[in-house]
Amino acid sequence: MTTIELSNPACRVVISPERGGRVVSFVSTGSGVEHVGPEHLQIWLKTGTIRDPAAGVLHLFYGDFRTREFEMDQTDSPRSVRLRAESEGVSFQKRVRLDGAKPVVTLELEAVNNSDRPRVVQVECFFHWSFGPTTTRRNVHTLIQRGGASTLYPLPPYGTMDCSSFDIDGGTLALCDTDQDETLRIVPDANWQRFAIYQMSGCWRGPYSPEKSLAPGETFRATLQLVLSPGCEAVGQPAVAAVYDRRSHRDSQRRSQTAATARFGYPTFPIRVIDLNASRTGTPVDSLKWLLEHVIAPAGYTHVQLECSVRLRSHPELAGEASYLPGEIRELTKFARSLGMEIIAIQNFYGHQSAITRAHPDLQEVPGDPGVYCPTNPKTRRLVAEIIREMVEIFEPRQFHIGHDEIQLAGNPQRVGVCPRCRQRRPWEVFAYDVNEIHAVLKAAGVRTWMWSDMLIRPEYLSKWQGNGNGVAGEVYRALDLIPRDIVIADWHYFAVEDYRSSQGFLDRGFEVCPAVWYSKEGIREYAKYAHSIGLKSMMMTTWANADLSSLPVESVLYAGRVFQDVAAGNDPDLDEQVRLAAHDLWGEWTKRVKP
Ligand SMILES: [Zn+2]
């Protein structure tokens, strides 16, 4: 991979044009501390009109400047480089400039509307900050500094997800590494609006520029500086006493009554599913077993939808280092059963299956884009059937989730039925064809099909939030009338501001519906109430984080487990505190038993 390195006596910064022009390393010469890597600091441009319900900013998926390759436009000097990309009539330029002597990197950003209509744009930073519970740099404190005062943003030691917004108002963000006694400051100019600390399994988003409507030919500019300084004076002494530390001193009697260990009588939802993302490298079998035994089963889940890659005899080309061995999966499914839980096999098909389309580029629906395969290619059909048959042999599941989410994204170009062969049919027929072919293979094996809902939600249910209306382009949602009614629709709505009526819509058409929630406790509570009110019998918690306690949004996992068992628990004002205590205890146990 080609990278560009800029350096001065105080620091070194590395940029990757191939990875969306992101900063992949920022090292202080004096301390040797890597402030950005091993992950990255990305600044991208979003376009569109759909907002993220939690952060209130333009939706993350908008525009494709995130992963696109940037051209190196010009190297101004050994300490400065310009990168440029253009997409759908908007050009985005980043100039990265290093100070001659000081550890200061200046990022000058410029968006130009080259199209003939107004375009809404927003610049967003996305940090895989190398600190917090998922990394070894645990003693890095996040502070918002404004007008001489510092506000500490506390992080629990275990994984969590959260979103908090702060207007910038002349402020800066300081990341103080108290172990290394060095601070990284993020200094925005007046063209930025807010820091929204949107924490998700090690990646944080923000600061954000305001949304700008650019007229044709109009330009938006903003500048952000990354500044290193010795010391951690931003950390005021009282501020370091993080909220989560004091919770460890509660008496053990109260802890024993926490959500993780509580058992209930007749549950509101008899089927309580958790979707876990596991990989052999990130979650070894023993860690996963510990998690199932000490967190998932006690939290009241009955089904585990295990998202992982498995090394298949029939298709070794799809496997990687992270793939589990068939024997490991058999050990896990047996262990889950011994705890009274059932494993739901899951394999994403059509979209989110880049292992297939990278190993077999000839199956890409749009050449060069590994995101989507071509369902009408006969080779796809053979390959998919072989994968399913072998997975069924390994998992011995009663239920198999076939994914089918986000094949195209609301507001982005259509991806269903666009290749010359697929264009012979209507987009919704192409989508239904893929589902029906897979369903037939599973049915022959006596296995029930589950799938995600977002490609099938009708426009009338998208009045409050359009973000999961992924089947609107090409009217793909019409496939709902062409697929078997014994499919379980996992209808995901993650935030309380969303419209849940799509679940009633699926129910009315004869499908079984399993509502799916994410980390938002308000979203969990509200959707569970709705699901109960329309008589649904199952709920699913999704996590979208590595299945270990340092990444998993563990408070939300416990919270959902409790609400799924007893929907009225969502009204209990103590539930938040109970799950926090339980999460803290579990973290203590996990660090003792699993962490080296
Ligand atoms: Zn095709």
Separation of CA 485 and ligand 1 centre (Å): 25
Separation of CA 384 and ligand 1 centre (Å): 15
CA 530 to each of CA 400, 423, 453: distance values in angstroms, whole numbers, following the listed order: 26, 39, 17
Main-chain phi, psi angles of 392, to 5 degrees: -65, -40
Helix spans in 445-553 (H): 501-508, 521-533
Whose tokens are 């199952």? That residue is 538
Q: What is the pLDDT of residue 505?
A: 97
Q: Are residues 353 and 428 in the same domain?
A: yes
Least confident of 81-95, 315-329, 348-362, 450-464: 81-95
Q: What is the mean pLDDT of residues 578-592?
A: 92
Q: What is the pLDDT of residue 276?
A: 98
Q: What is the mean pLDDT of residues 317-344?
A: 97
Q: What is the mean pLDDT of residues 192-204?
A: 76
Domain that holds residue 548: 267-593
Separation of CA 435 and ligand 1 centre (Å): 14
Q: Would 252 be classed as within a structural domain?
A: no
Q: Are residues 78 and 138 in the same domain?
A: yes
Residue 446 pLDDT exceeds 60: yes
CA dist 177 and 24 (Å) reads 19
What is this structure's pTM?
0.88
Final residue in a domain of this structure, among 240, 258, 280 = 240
Least confident of 37-41, 291-295, 537-541: 37-41
Separation of CA 420 and ligand 1 centre (Å): 7
Helix (H) or strand (E) holding 168: none
Helix (H) or strand (E) holding 386: helix 378-395
Please state the domain count of the chain: 2
Q: Are residues 143 and 286 in the same domain?
A: no
List pLDDT tens digits, range 428-438. Answer: 999 999 999 99
Q: What is the pLDDT of residue 253?
A: 39
CATH number of the domain encompassing residue 431: 3.20.20.80
List pLDDT tens digits, range 474-507. Answer: 999 999 999 999 999 999 999 998 999 999 999 9
Residue 338 pLDDT exceeds 70: yes
Separation of CA 482 and ligand 1 centre (Å): 19
Separation of CA 430 and ligand 1 centre (Å): 8
Q: Would 548 be classed as within a structural domain?
A: yes
Q: Are residues 176 and 293 in the same domain?
A: no
Q: Are residues 87 and 192 in the same domain?
A: yes
Q: Are residues 21 and 110 in the same domain?
A: yes
Q: Are residues 207 and 279 in the same domain?
A: no
List pLDDT tens digits, range 530-583. Answer: 999 999 999 999 999 999 898 899 999 999 999 999 999 999 999 999 999 999
Q: What is the pLDDT of residue 64?
A: 57
Q: Would 351 be classed as within a structural domain?
A: yes
Q: Would 262 be classed as within a structural domain?
A: no
Q: Are residues 273 and 408 in the same domain?
A: yes
* Whether 48 contacts 59, CB under 8 Å: yes
Separation of CA 424 and ligand 1 centre (Å): 9
Q: Give me the percent of the chain exceeding a pLDDT of 70.
A: 90
Q: What is the mean pLDDT of residues 416-431?
A: 98
Separation of CA 325 and ligand 1 centre (Å): 32
